[in-house]
């Protein structure tokens, strides 16, 4: 499996960032009692799952890409 140039660039940038992130991870974050803001619906990554599902389905049926946030899946004759 060959990795295209642009993906290599993304990987080359992402991997050190990820390693640096992991190294810094113990210093990142918030105390459990300090995470009230993150628990709000507007701050959750899956705060609006139905809207996200519809958006994914639109773009899945109009473009050659799908998934990323979740499973790309199939399940539809529209693509």
Contact 41, 47 (CB under 8 A): yes
Q: Looking up tokens 């199939």, which residue turns up?
A: 74
Shortest Å, Cβ 59 to another protein: 7
**71 makes contact with another protein (CB under 8 A):** yes
In the set 12, 16, 19, 21, which binds another protein (CB under 8 A)? Answer: 21
Please tell me the distance from the alpha carbon of residue 26 to that of residue 61, in angstroms, as a whole number.
41
Angle at 78 between CA 52 and CA 65, to 5 degrees: 55
Contact 22, 14 (CB under 8 A): no
Shortest Å, Cβ 66 to another protein: 8
Q: Which residues bind another protein (CB under 8 A)?
A: 1, 3-4, 6-7, 10-11, 14, 18, 21, 25-26, 28-32, 34-38, 40-43, 45, 48-51, 53-54, 57-59, 62-79
């Amino acid at each position: 499996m060959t990795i295209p140039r642009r993906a290599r660039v993304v990987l080359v940038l992402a991997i050190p960032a990820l390693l640096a992130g992991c190294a810094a991870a113990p210093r990142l974050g918030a105390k459990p009692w300090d995470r009230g803001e993150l628990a709000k619906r507007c701050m959750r990554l899956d705060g609006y799952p139905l809207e996200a599902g519809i958006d994914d389905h639109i773009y899945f049926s109009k473009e050659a890409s799908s998934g990323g946030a979740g499973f790309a899946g199939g399940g539809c004759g529209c693509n």
